[in-house]
Structure 1
Amino acid sequence: MPNPITDQEISDLMFVDPAKALALHAERVKAELRGEYQRNQGQSQFWDQFYADNPELRADHDEVRLIINNHMSELAPLPVSKASAKLAEMAHEHIKNKERKRAEEREGAVYVGVPGISENHSPFGGMNRDYIGADDDESGGSLGSIINRRKAARAAGGILRPGRRRPGRVIEWNQSRSLPL
Structure 2
Amino acid sequence: MATTSSGGEAAHATADREIVISRVIGAPRELVFEAFTGVRHLSRWWGPEGFTTTTRSFEFRVGGQWDFVMHGPDGTDYQEWITWREIVAPERIALLHGESRDDPNAFESWLTFEPAGAQTRIVMHTVFRTRELRDEAVEKYHAIEGGEQTLRNLAEYVAQIAERSAGGGPASAGGTTTGHESGQQSGQEGTVR
Indicate whether the TM-score tops 0.5: no
Structure exhibiting the larger radius of gyration computed from Cα positions:
1
Higher RCO (CA < 8 A, seq sep 6+): 2
TM-score, normalising length from structure 1?
A: 0.24
